[in-house]
Amino acid sequence: MAYRKLNRASGNRKALFRSLSSALIMNGRIETTITKAKETSKNVAKLITLAKVGDLHARRQVLATLVDETATRKLFDELAPKYKERQGGFTRIYRVGPRRGDAAEMAIIELL
């Protein structure tokens, strides 16, 4: 399965998704472009699935991806037990219309 490059270098893209994933975990919902929301949804689903395992190895894998310790702690302590019985579909994406400056299609992504 391919991923979107978003016209960025790999390091910048990795940092972008780290920050978007951390913000989504910490705040519960964020507003971003539709393509970034779709990619963030895939990344957060993988992180939640790892957090549902709950062992030390999974925690280190999530921490290597997120880097933010408070987001990792919230993911393991609050979100993983909440989604324990859920098989997938942890996020929801709403289209909100074009952005004023450049007419990019905007979306709200939120955790269920």
CATH number of the domain within which 75 lies: 3.90.1030.10
Percent of the chain at pLDDT > 70 equals 98
Q: Which residues on neighbouring strands pair with residue 111, listed in sequence order?
A: 91
Helix, strand or coil, per DSSP, at residue 30:
strand
Where in the sequence is the domain holding 46, given as residue range(s)?
33-111
User: Could you give the angle at the alpha carbon of 11 between the alpha carbons of 101 and 22, nearest 5°?
Assistant: 70
Helix, strand or coil, per DSSP, at residue 91:
strand
Instruction: Report residue 92 CA to chain centroid gap.
Output: 11
Give the count of domains, the chain.
1
Query: pTM, whole model, 2 decimals?
Result: 0.89
pLDDT digits (tens, 9 = 90+) for 40-83: 999 999 999 999 998 999 999 999 998 889 999 999 999 999 98
Q: What pLDDT shows up at residue 6?
A: 84
Is residue 17 in some structural domain?
no
